Structure 1
Amino acid sequence: MIPIKLDKHKLLGAALLLAFSACGPAQADWALATDPLAVHTLPDNRQIQAQNPPSFTWSRHPQSPASYTIEVKSGGAIVNTFTSSRNWYLPSKKFEAGTYTWRVRPSNSKEWSSPRVFIINATSGVFEVPESETLRAAIVLRPRPRGLEDNATFFSTWSAAKRADRSQVLTWLSNEVKRNMTEIAPVSDAEWPLSPGKVRTAANEAQNARVISRTNVSARQLEAASLLYRVTGEQQYLDEALRRGDLNAALSPNGGTSFANHDQGNRAIAQSLIKAVDNLGSALDAPRRARWLEMVRVRTNAMYADLAAQTGRLDQYPYDSHAASNIGFLALISTLSLGDIPEAKDWFDFSFRAFVSSYSVWSGPEGGFANGTAYAEYEADYALQIWPALAHATKVDLFTKPWARGFLDYLMHFVPPGSQTHVFGDGHETAPEMRMMKGFAAHFATPAAAWYFKNLDRTDDSLATLQAQYPLPVTTVAAAAPPVNSTYYPSIGWSAMHSDIGNAQRTSVYFKSSPYGSFNHSHGDQNGFVLASAGVPLLTEAGWYDWYDSPMWSTWYRHTRAHNALTFDGGQGQLVDGYEETMARNGRITAFVPKATVDYVAGDATLAYGGQLKSALRKLWYLRTVDAVVVQDQVSSDTPRVFEWNFHTYAPIVADAGGALSVTNQGRKVCIVQVSDGARFERRAGPPPQAGTYEEHGVFVKSAAALSGEFLTVLDVGCKKPVIKLGSNGTARTLSVGKQVVTLPN
């Protein structure tokens, strides 16, 4: 990521900082960047910390000092002073409950940042991480395999209980590996003749897709075969591991799988080789072991050089999705390489604490994932590849990190059992791979995790399960229970409202107005929503993800007109072009009130339209008693506009003789009632949908250009046709939907 010139983006930065709930104080402060893509200075705003101790972060001082001094006070007295060579710090010991003030300065000056206040209380989850020197000393003394739990013994020594629990999983993985011995063709550099680098063309993207699919299956086969040899001692698995390892090690680190050409393929090869070295131990002959380790060294050095550029580029500019994942793989590879690869010490000291200390760059401490649930699925997959091995080797269990518990809650709320598609962002149209979510949930001993694990209709991943601790925490829960029906994730600006999340026939309403705007894998869908019934999409998002930055991605898929959101003048919507601007052009949830009979959420997407609109406000009520959704949009402009209310479906939009609209998909139905005056229904065209799928696009269009407008819409789930009536309570308008009444803000 190229550093952004601050003077060019001050206004954008100010807009973003106002939108984020975790913004800093208003006065000038060197630790608070105006750049919208710079790290946020945290903790702040008297917030109760989810994690104890919190991770401190701040924007770099302009003079680039060699180190910083962090001072923490309580009751006016200094209680801690820390020194850090980077612009973040994670204390190794928890704080006592209380209210604290902290500030930071370059160690060679007295230029303190503004003081910031945070709170530690009984809800703050303890997550202590020893210093790197302590961790390294313990890791190198740990016998191999480091990445498996202490009692990772042969199957013949498993207890009866463990056999009852995991014998079937062992059989599944054994069958997979045996089948793939013949079905997975040997991988070779001849498969990817192009050197695409960062250039995106259809041909380059097609090769990139082949690289990731082929390296992933080859890496998984190597890792699985080496694990099965560790567990069973059978020669067939050792032979397969040696064959696949030699193939992976023979791939050129300067070819199609190089870091420059494909960082994901590069890391998959390095990770599989070091995990195989760890699993096979003394069964790996010395020449082969040296050859594999050399390939790990070369490929990982390329990853490290990229991440360490600009003295740790993610420290200041963290919003890089690939790099944010790569640092986790670097932490794992370095942990398993210590004592065998000299550079592993530098890799570990650079990456491990940085990785485990930070929250995900795509959310705040309460969990969530702003890039969308499809990319959250990938995050769960990465966690299953990295976190258990780190926990076994270092005794630092990331599943106990408060953010991880919040991330699981997010998955439960936005990808509940029975979901047929993801929501929001790239890949929203894809079917969830529930084994990732189930495998992640398996590591939590909570009633909600047990409910999620039990109700996901897919077996958990056999490779991940065999590498996980025994027993899995989720199996120790006495009684399963679903999470709350409705919730809100403030740092990403998402809310979920379910009729009854524990009921497979649930109605689900998802709303988004995000401070991340349309940045990275997010779309121009601020104030957008998705409606599903029993997991079946009724009002959904349009288009499909062919590849990042493709012509369709750039001109349709991520634009507002492809979502259930407002446009004007023939499909003009939120501004999604540019790089850093896409985050500053954002939304925010301004209210969220969950109740037993009605949930209410409000969003402001004005900034997302980049000055084209004076205001863009949406309020949404889910009426649980009558199973209906009320959507009120109020929009204004300095220039007369013809305002439009877009909606999309995976089934035909049917208009009856009276003009009433309905959509029926897989037996689930919704009637769409436009209550406001002066809006006509039109069908709109979009690009051809993905092969084998169906899409329709509808829009309510105001009859004439105006400076302001309102859309008032009722979504009658099940088409029960309740009586809908506008009225007044004397001081405000009301809308009755059957027996439920909503008071409408003027």
Structure 2
Amino acid sequence: MKTLLYLFSTVVALNVSAQEAGVIKLSQDKLHARVREWPYPMGGTVVSSNAPALMWPATNGTQMVLPMESGSEVPQDPGIADVRYKVVLARDSKFTKNVIASDVQAWAVYPLHQSLAPGSWYWKYAYAKNGSDSWTWSQVYDFVIDAKTQGQQVSPPVSEVLARNQVAHPRLWDMHTRGEVFYKNNRNNPEAHHFIAYAEKLMQEPLPVEKPMRVIDTTGKTPLEKKKIIEAMYHGFGDAVGTPISNLCIAYQLTRDERFLRDAKRRALNIAQMDPNGLATGDDFTSGAVLEALGWFYDTGYHILTEKEKSLLQQIIRLRAKRVYDHLPNRFELHVSDNHIWQITMRNLTIATVAVIGDVPEAKEWLSYLYEVWSARYPVLGTTDGGWHEGNGYFKVNYKSMIYLSQLFGDLSGVDYYQLPWMKNLPFYLMYTHPPASATTAYGDMWENTPFMTRQQGLFADAFAYRAENPYLNWYVATIKKDNPEYFTRPSDDYLFYRLLNYNPYRKLPQQSPEDLPKLRNFADVGVAAIHSNLADTKKDLSSYLMSNPFGSSGHGSASQNAITVNFKGKTVFGGSGYYGNFSDQHNLLYYRTSRAYSTILVDSLSQKIGEEGYGWIPRALSGERIQYALGDASNAYGAIESSFWLNRFDQLGIDPKSTGVYGDVGVQKYRRHMVQLEGGIIVLYDELEAKQPIKWTTQFHAPYYAMKALPAMDSKVQNFEVMMEGGHATASVFAAVPIGMKIHNKFSEPAVNWANVKDVNGDIKEFKDQWHCGVTSTAVQKMRYLTVIQVKDGKPQVIKSIHTGDGLMVLQVGNWQITVQLDGLKSAKLQIGDAASVFDYGGGMVIDFAGKKYTRKQEGSTLLMEGSKGKVQQYETIDVLPDVVKYDAVR
């Protein structure tokens, strides 16, 4: 631990440098560690809360350890379960003024459940092995509370939460006090009536037995594939046997008819006898679903259980709960996102814990830990902007837990979690990244499962709207209901109980069309800039997305920094490619998860690295009426894989990533991609690229649903191609200052095989079809620039006219727009786009001529956007702006 403490004693300024005016160069190895490696907050950081959570790296009592997530083949240090911590906080570094001291605890996080006074605060933590009174203290860290944070909502201490839960059953969802209101409120609710009729039929269903949900042939499969296939055969079994129990409990609460409760009891006692080590209910998801169902019934049906039956359920709940909890403290709270826990099993454990607290001795500790982690970490994969870093394919897996844990912890604490900044911004993330009747952003695991608006997205948005109080979200939900009424007609779904719980027959839902919202919204925390020409009408919308993620390709994310997605009328024109057959099979690790599968840059044919170390960020964004702009920086995304978690995944397949030709380090030093969307269906990309030595740069474009074909080009420094899309035309022209070649094909570099019989959203086995790809590659140069002009529109694309070429500077005319660009990598970067009413300028001088007048930049090195309308000129300007993680919590 001395090495760790010495490291943290060398805190200096942020690892950033301004080599060019207005430009920030980040030099951190990572912005988000997979497992916490440095304390927070420290170094005099001005925090954004009046009651921050103190966090620090784990120790085994001797040194810092990096415990892996659940399910990892990398063994965790057994010593992490043999450590205790305590924390002290004060207004002075000697710890004599306004001292706050924690109790001894087993986890490495300490939420401050009280408002701190503005000014400087100091803190430190200590650790000791269990059974030892020898405490080792860290150095002293400091932070600043901003006076502007005063008045923020503060969560109560865990002691108050525990006290609020010491009530008679039923206590889940505050039914001890809310039950009568719930019953009366829903007596005339049509949805409740439909559900009760459904529950009547449910009681006629036979008791389930332990058997696969489906059978998949494992002949000829590798041992690892067989293991995954067997898991897939039982996937969903826990929900299939557990959900009927919670549904019958809900039906009882709606009707007071004990027939429903007696049948729930019959089913609960049946699944309580299922083998906790068996294939059917032995893994984290299936066992967690059983655990939650038993918690539901134990709480709701407590009064009809015999003492023997109570004892049996307590034993089974304790056994299954301990299997989850015993691997959490000093591990889970430190992980950037242990996906399975946050997605599902934290909800399972919390519901069961609340049900048995007071009856199972360990439950008090379980709830204390769960509440403290929730208070400190939620939302786990975002900070304030409402975004989700893994992309929208896997975001939906978290929806149910987000809804119900926000409700449950709100019931326990009195805190309205819908008032968190992230929750307030979430409606805008939903709208901008997955509009009604549209595909979503094409990146992250399972992105290909959302080529349209999905039922799960609509149901979640509808549930969220019950508490969000956002008129734009109300419009979003109403539009989805109009487009897809069939999504909302089933008698039961994941969010039915939540709707019943929050049902108000007099509820008013004011709607506001997003037509008055900015055309661009930058979700900088997760690295997504979303642009729409018409957010209010998908049939008229051209949307473009630039992704550059501070989390890197963590978890279900992908090595897609500075990748683009382009959707037209809700259909994906350019985006990702490949198929999610498994988290880490060969197609996944050598193609789907890599940069080869995304519309970004390859370097000497190599991908960006996977893991948190391969990160990007969005330094700049501007939103005008006719021009929208975003800049992504992926300069830190390339190199050899460093993450031990991902290296282990290669080891499991017997593959050395260095020998695959997919990963490696060729010394990339700069990759800044400017994306500009222009009125009239034009998107311009300008790439600034630099390496330590000459390399070949490949700019890629994938059309996952359409064919591509080359178009004639009169110059070796220009390449043109077309996407054979329906309902419009899509072309792209790529320009460079050096010779470039183009290859268009429809084969994956690593074949996609559906060996696990993965199903699509309709339940049919998915066909892994070939997709079309275009790569434009330069000769080997150290510094490179690409200009790409994409046109997507109903009518024929504009002819691109070359007005001037010389000294690397090119002037093009595309309709009314004139584009001036510097393509010579040895000269200063420059991109200017304008017409009579608007001008965009990057790399120009301090003075800009526009509409017959001279305008002066406010900041050297800025990006400038000017638009004239009704005799007035709107001026927008920006230089690089750091993401919040660098401001508040990056390694220093």
Q: With structure 2 as the length reference, what TM-score do the two structures score?
A: 0.71
Bigger relative contact order, structure 1 or 2 (CA pairs below 8 A, ≥6 apart): 2
Kindly tell me: are residues 114 and 6 of structure 1, through their superposed partners in 2, closer, same or farther at Cα, counting changes over 3 Å? Answer: closer
Between the aligned residues of both structures, percent identity stands at 18
The 1:181/1:438 distance shift into structure 2, 3 A limit, reads: same
Counterpart in the other structure of 2:340? 322
Secondary structure of the residue aligned to 1:652 is coil
Aligned residue number for residue 22 of structure 1 = none
- Give the conservation status (yes or no) of the 8 Å contact 1:72–1:100: yes
Q: How many residues align?
A: 710
Equivalent residue number for residue 889 of structure 2: none
**Equivalent residue for 1:313, pick from 331, 336, 339:** 331
RMSD, aligned CA? 4.1
User: Whose helix proportion is higher, 1 or 2?
Assistant: 1
User: Structure 2: how far apart are the matches of 1:17 and 1:296?
Assistant: 48
Counterpart among 414, 418, 422 of residue 433 in structure 2: 414
Shift of 1:738: 6.9
1:130 aligns with 2:156: yes
Question: Does structure 1 residue 464 correspond to structure 2 residue 518?
Answer: no
1:321-340 matches, within 5 Å, as 321-325=339-343, 326-340=345-359
2:722 is the alignment partner of 1:662: yes
In structure 2, the CA distance between the partners of 1:281 and 1:231, relative to structure 1 (3 Å rule), is farther
Name the stretch that deviates more: 228-237 or 38-47: 38-47
Name the residue aligned to 1:251: 274
The answer (yes or no) to whether the contact 1:523–1:558 under 8 Å persists in 2 is yes
| Partner SS, residue 365 of structure 2 | helix
TM-score where L is the length of structure 1: 0.84
Task: Give the superposition deviation at 1:334.
Answer: 1.5
Find the counterpart in structure 2 of residue 480 from structure 1.
Answer: 512
Q: Separation in 1 of the partners of 2:319 and 2:688?
A: 57
Residue number in structure 2 paired with 1:702 = 777
What do the CA deviations read for 1:554-595 (whole angstroms, capped 9, x no partner)?
A: 1211111111111133x322123xxxxx21122222222233
Tell me the CA shift for residue 428 of structure 1.
0.9
Q: In structure 2, what is the Cα distance between the partners aligned to 1:328 and 1:90?
A: 20
Aligned counterpart for 2:170 among listed residues 144, 151, 176: 144
Is 1:349–2:368 an aligned residue pair?
A: yes
* Aligned 8 A contact 1:374 1:426 in 2: yes
CA distance in 2 between counterparts of 1:522 and 1:77 reads 46
The letter for the 2-side match of 1:514 is N
* Counterpart in the other structure of 2:246: 223
Aligned in 2, Cα 1:73/1:480: closer, same or farther, shift over 3 Å? farther
- 1:597 is aligned to 626
Distance change (3 Å), C-alpha of 1:657 and 1:516: closer
Distance 1:628-1:665 versus aligned 2 partners, 3 A rule: same
Structure 2 CA distance for partners of 1:127 and 1:35, relative to 1, 3 Å:
same
> Are 1:370 and 2:404 matched, yes or no?
no
- Write the distance in 1 (CA, Å) between the matches of 2:582 and 2:416: 34
Structure 1 contact 445–474 (Cα < 8 Å) conserved: no
Aligned partner of 1:646 in structure 2 is: 700
- Is the 2:212–2:234 Cα contact (8 Å) retained in structure 1? no
Partners of 1:549 and 1:254 in 2: CA distance = 25
> Take 2:735 and 2:151, find their aligned partners in 1: how far apart are those partners?
47
User: Taking structure 1 as reference, are residues 729 and 492 closer, same or farther at Cα in structure 2, changes over 3 Å only?
Assistant: closer
CA distance in 1, matches of 2:206, 2:152: 45
Which residue in the other structure is 2:872 paired with? none
Deviations 1:273-296 (A, max 9, x none): 101222234244544443333211
1:121–1:331 Cα change, 3 Å: farther
Distance change >3 Å, CA 56–CA 418, structure 1 → 2: farther
**Cα distance in 1 between the residues matched to 2:721 and 2:797:** 12
Distance in structure 1 (CA, Å) of the matches to 2:360 and 2:289: 18
Aligned to 1:607: 636
3-state DSSP class of the match of 1:609? coil
Could you tell me which of 468, 486, 494 is aligned with 2:528? Answer: 494
Q: Give me the whole-angstrom Cα distance separating, in 1, the residues matched to 2:512 and 2:767.
A: 38
Please give the alpha-carbon distance, in whole angstroms, between the structure 1 residues aligned to 2:463 and 2:233. 26
How far did 1:596 drift? 3.0
Report deviation, 1:270: 0.3
Amino acid of the structure 1 residue aligned with 2:461: M
Deviation at 1:511, TM superposition (A): 1.6
Give how far 1:546 is off: 0.9
Q: Give, in whole Å, the separation in 2 of the partners of 1:317 and 1:16.
A: 23
Return 5+ residue gaps in structure 2 as ranges: 18-25, 63-82, 128-134, 482-486, 640-664, 714-719, 755-765, 802-809, 812-819, 823-827, 845-892
Q: Is the 8 A contact 1:43 1:116 kept in 2?
A: yes
Between 617-626 and 717-726, report the one with greater CA deviation.
Answer: 717-726
Gaps of 5+ in 1: 20-24, 577-581
In the other structure, the counterpart of 1:536 is 571
Closer/same/farther in 2, CA of residues 346 and 380 from structure 1, 3 Å limit: same
Preserved contact between residue 528 and residue 545 of structure 2 (Cα < 8 Å): yes
Deviation string, structure 1 residues 162-216 (Cα, Å, up to 9, x no partner): 556x32x22443455456566787241577999x9xx982222222233331212
Q: Which has the larger radius of gyration?
A: 2
1:62-92, CA deviations, whole angstroms, 9 ceiling, x for partnerless residues? 7677412122469x99556342544322222
- 2:520/2:532 contact within 8 Å kept: yes
Cα 1:598–1:232 change in 2 (3 A) is same
Distance in 1, Cα, partners of 2:399 & 2:158: 25
Q: Distance in 1 between matches of 2:711 and 2:31?
A: 58
CA distance in 2, matches of 1:33, 1:113: 22
State the SS of the aligned residue for 2:114.
Answer: coil
Deviation digits for residues 374-426 of structure 1, max 9, x if unmatched? 22211112123433234334434433333333444433332222233454211
**Does the Cα contact within 8 Å between 2:629 and 2:676 map onto a contact in 1?**
yes
**Deviation of 1:116 (Å):** 2.3
- CA 1:563–1:604 in structure 2 vs 1: closer, same or farther (change >3 Å)? same
- Measured in 2, the distance between the counterparts of 1:397 and 1:423 equals 33
Structure 1: distance between partners of 2:136 and 2:362? 33
More displaced stretch, 704-713 vs 139-148:
139-148
Measured against aligned partners, the alpha-carbon deviations of 1:417-460 in whole angstroms (never above 9, x if no partner) come to 22334542111111242212332333211223323332333439
Q: Is the 8 A contact 1:43 1:118 kept in 2?
A: no
Structure 2 residue identity aligned to 1:673: S
- Cα pair distance change 1:125/1:279, threshold 3 Å: farther
1:649 CA displacement: 1.2
Offset of 1:646 from its aligned partner? 0.9
| 1:453 alignment counterpart | 477
Tell whether the 8 Å contact from 1:335 to 1:393 is kept in structure 2 after alignment.
no
Aligned to 1:358: 377
Secondary structure of the corresponding residue to residue 268 of structure 2: helix
Q: Distance in 2 between matches of 1:34 and 1:438?
A: 32
| Aligned-residue offset at 1:344 | 0.9
- Please tell me the residue identity of whatever aligns with 1:620: H
Structure 1 position 125, deviation (Å): 7.6
By how many angstroms is 1:350 displaced? Answer: 2.2
Write the distance in 2 (CA, Å) between the matches of 1:456 and 1:69: 51
Measured in 2, the distance between the counterparts of 1:59 and 1:79 equals: 25
